[in-house]
Structure 1
Amino acid sequence: MDIRTGKRLSDIKLIWKGSGGSYVEGPHIYNRNGWYYLLTAEGGTAYGHMVAIARSKNIWGPYESNPKNPILTNRMSYASLQGTGHADMIQANDSSWWLVHLAFRPAIDGIHFIGRETCLTPMRWHNDWPIVNDSGQAVILNKTIPSNYKPSTIKPFSTTVNTNFDTSFSMEWVYLRNPDSSNYDIHLRKGWLALRGNAFHLNDIDNPTCILRRQQHFNFTATTTIDFSPNTSNEEAGMTLLMDNRFHYDFYVTQSGQNTVLELRYTLDSLEHVYKSIPLPKGNVTLIVKGDKRNYQFYYQLPYGKLVFVGTLNTRFLGTEVSGGYNGVMIGLYATGKGISATAPAFFDEFTYVPSN
């Protein structure tokens, strides 16, 4: 392959069909002790996911399948990690070997709504075959990584994320598809993020004005303060918990008649319903979402006011097993004009994400 253009320079040659699992993908080739090793993911990325390996003295084959394939899988188990696969073999500075791979953590009743996460599982070599964790399974050990392995810049998993929108977005923030940068402004009001809604909504497979970060923990609290004065009932802005364009929960400010209102809405494929609508005075309102394995709870607070409970929505309906296709809920901020460009920007004063036990 020409690495500059991506053009293929030689014929395609089949060297291994896999160990027998479906969806053979993500191949890696290694050379060790005179052997070429071909590592693959099989079984799809759900509960049947697994890692298989084959070896050959010649890079073109024939490849001998490991008789103990799959070398890693948590299928047909009650392990707290599932969907283990898409692996890579690495050797640490102390000569120990590890398998770095993906997995997900189910919440309740086999539903998972946190995305695929990166895992490290120990491995060793025996008779020139890799043995993973002596069991072929990945488990959560809650062990401290030795200090000589830990990069100095790594953040603890329990770190609070506080985004002040005073400079630029940090790397954990992502957009939906191809953003229109003119709809995102951190200079219009100092210390605030201004989002201007375009014609696209979160239901559309397009580029609505939306900025998101991943839900990384079952238990968390996410908070933002919004200042938004919609001019029409088409205009709305607020927080969203989004699996995809068909499955999301929205907590937003909009206009209803002559009033500004705060609404909680769920979109579950063809079912869309405003669960609660609450009149608001003009000015800022703080939006709070608290999550656990079973539910998302929604609250709001006016300046110098009490915390007010709005409602509860179930996490399972944003799970991959219900929505299908995608992995991992995103939480973030959005604005839309729902069919036309919004006339008023929505201002957001920081976003805080606090994990908890």
Structure 2
Amino acid sequence: MVTHADAKLPALFDDDGKVYFSAVNQIKDPNMTRHGLGLASFATEIDLATGDAVGPIRWHRWSDFGLGIAEGPHIFKKGGFYYLSTAEGGTDEGHQQWIFRSKEGPFGPWETGPEGTVNPVIFNDSHPEIRNTGHLDFIEDVGGKWWALGRETFLAPVEWRDGWPVVNNREKITLEMKAEGVAVQQKKTVWRDDFQGPELDLGWYHLRTPLKKAYRFDSSGLNLFGGAYKITEFECPSMLLRKQTHFSMDWTVELDFHPVTAGEEAGTAIWWSQFAYASVGLRRTPKSDHEIVCRTVNEQGEFTENLANVGHETSIHFTIQARPLGC
């Protein structure tokens, strides 16, 4: 374990029997950034056995772009050059990746890749599919081809031009891009949970830490106990969540629920936050014993409810279909 204090987003690089530790830290030096406060990346040589620094800290990138942030530094070597790749602009729609190189070593001095033809190597701005394009790695496959692997998961082809990496021919990163390589055949997958207990599978989690356990298992499956908190509140409601793992998928829930008091509701939801979600549920109201309510939210954050009455059924199935935009 590296013992350097206050280091964030660390990475290791080895060269000629030496190991270098690069990371990011806060700076308050007006001579380094016009913002007066920002995040800058640095490197130092370390003893791999102890994790202790064996040399001075060398600052190697601070940024005047956007919020004055240069983070997630990764160093690699190719063709006689050392390369430094940093995420800049902050984790927002300004998020992007920059590249620098040095002939001398992992401490620089660093030459900045030409703006417009190399830098920023990736910047998607407000692209609807992939926005936060910083914090990527440059990797070489077994066939000698280079790729950009993003933290917001994507894989983009890389060409080397005049000793600089050019990602996806400087076009926007999308969910599907043209590249030569081994094709991955998509397999149709089916997942099912019958809730046989005695504990939930690891893929399930609560929105926040519950005050007490709100479910149990029996022969019928999972029993989820209602609570006082709505899913729109900053508490831990009686809700279990699971990550969506495919853009195109069908999600079906079988629900056995018979509300006895007006206001009781159970169902399923597509969840982003309490301000952005869609749900479909069964509830009781003063006017209806069994009312279906479907909630959706628009771009202004306004919720709309669509209602339908159903008879007293033993169980009900709710299905949500997810498809990429334009499909």
1:131 to 160, 166, 169: 166
Structure 2: segments with no counterpart, 5+ residues: 8-51
Among 112, 121, 132, the alignment partner of 1:71 is 121
- Mark the CA change 1:273 to 1:170 in structure 2 (over 3 Å): closer, same or farther: same
The one-letter code matched in structure 2 to 1:212 is: L
The equivalent of 1:29 in structure 2 is 74
1:41 deviates by 2.1
* Residues 23 and 221 of structure 1, relative CA distance in 2, 3 Å threshold: farther
CA distance in 1 between counterparts of 2:264 and 2:68 reads: 43
Q: Does 1:53 align with 2:99?
A: yes
- Contact 1:188–1:194, Cα closer than 8 Å, also in 2: yes
Q: Which residue of 2 aligns with 1:212?
A: 241
Q: Deviations over 1:105-161 (max 9, x none)?
A: xxxxxxxxxxxx5111122444543232343643523779627xx7xxxx9475343
SS of alignment partner, residue 192 of structure 2:
strand
Aligned to 1:42: 88
- Give the whole-Å Cα distance in 1 for the aligned partners of 2:161 and 2:247: 38
- Going from structure 1 to structure 2, the CA distance change for 1:97 and 1:267 (only over 3 Å counts) comes to closer
One-letter amino acid matched to 1:64: E
> Aligned runs of 1:92-171 on 2, under 5 Å?
92-102=141-151, 117-135=152-170, 137-139=172-174, 140-141=176-177, 146=182, 156=186, 158-167=188-197, 169=200
Shift of 1:251: 1.2
Mapped to 2, the partners of 1:205 and 1:126 lie a distance apart of: 51
Letter in 1 for 2:293: E
For 2:293 and 2:302, locate their aligned partners in 1 and report how far apart those are by CA, in whole Å.
16
Per the alignment, do residues 240 and 79 of structure 1 end up closer, same or farther by CA in structure 2, a change over 3 Å counting?
closer
Q: Match for residue 312 of structure 2?
A: 281
How many Å apart are 1:259 and its aligned residue? 1.8
What code does the residue aligned with 1:70 have?
Answer: P
| 1:259 and 2:289 aligned | yes
Question: What is the one-letter code of the residue matched to 1:161?
Answer: W
Alignment partner, residue 321 of structure 1: none
Distance 1:180 1:36 in 2: 52
Deviations 1:138-189 (A, max 9, x none): 3523779627xx7xxxx9475343333235655654431324672233x223
- C-alpha contact (below 8 Å) 1:18/1:40 kept by paired residues: no
Displacement after TM superposition at 1:12 (Å) = 7.7
Amino acid paired to 2:213: S
Q: 1:59 to 1:199 in 2, by over 3 A?
A: farther
Q: For structure 1, list consecutive stretches of 5 or more residues without a partner in the other structure.
A: 103-116, 296-356
SS at match of 1:253: strand
SS for the counterpart of 2:213 is helix
Q: Where do residues 152-191 of structure 1 align in structure 2 (5 Å cutoff)? A: 156=186, 158-167=188-197, 169=200, 172-179=203-210, 182-185=213-216, 187-190=217-220
Q: Which has the larger radius of gyration?
A: 2
Q: Percent of pairs identical after alignment?
A: 25
TM-score, with normalisation over the residues of structure 2? 0.66
Q: Secondary structure at the match of 1:141?
A: coil
Letter in 2 for 1:159: T
Query: Does structure 2 retain, via aligned residues, the 8 Å contact 1:262–1:280?
Result: no
Which segment drifts farther, 65-74 or 81-90?
81-90
Aligned-residue offset at 1:266: 4.0
Change (3 A) 1:42 1:170: farther
In structure 2, C-alpha distance between the alignment counterparts of 1:135 and 1:90, rounded to whole Å: 18
Aligned AA for 1:166? Q
C-alpha distance in 2 between matches for 1:170 and 1:61: 48
Residues 1:79 and 1:157: Cα distance change in structure 2 (over 3 Å) = farther
Change (3 A) 1:293 1:128: closer
SS at match of 1:85: coil
Q: Residues of 1 paired with 2:244 and 2:128: CA distance?
A: 21
Number of aligned positions between the proteins: 272
TM-score, normalised by the number of residues in structure 1 = 0.61
